[in-house]
Amino acid sequence: MLTNVALITIAGLIVGAAASVGTGRFINTLLYNLAASDTTMIVVTAITLATAAAIAGYLPARRAARIDPMAALREE
């Protein structure tokens, strides 16, 4: 379950980084005193989003791991 979250997160970060670099000229007109291709900004944003995705995936996975599989099958 967490593997799926990690794969989706990595794919999203790759697409997002490519899109931010690809639209750099337009973004440069919107940002004040900051470059769109600033590596630090892209890395910090990627780390923040990856951390949020890890927490969002970990909490339901932890709760699901606590459930007895036989009890869950009996409920359905």
pLDDT of residue 68: 87
Burial of 61 (0-12, 13-18, 19+ CB in 10 A): middle
Query: Are the C-beta atoms of residues 57 and 2 closer than 8 Å to each other?
Result: yes
pLDDT of residue 34: 67
pLDDT of residue 20: 79
pLDDT of residue 31: 72
pLDDT, averaged per 10 consecutive residues of the chain (76 residues), comes to: 88 88 77 72 88 91 87 80
Distance (Å, rounded) from C-alpha 44 to C-alpha 22?
A: 18
Query: Are the C-beta atoms of residues 4 and 53 closer than 8 Å to each other?
Result: no
pLDDT of residue 7: 92
* pTM beyond 0.75, yes or no: no
Q: How many CB atoms lie within 10 A of CB 41?
A: 14
Domain tally, the chain: 1
Q: Which domain holds residue 11?
A: 2-75
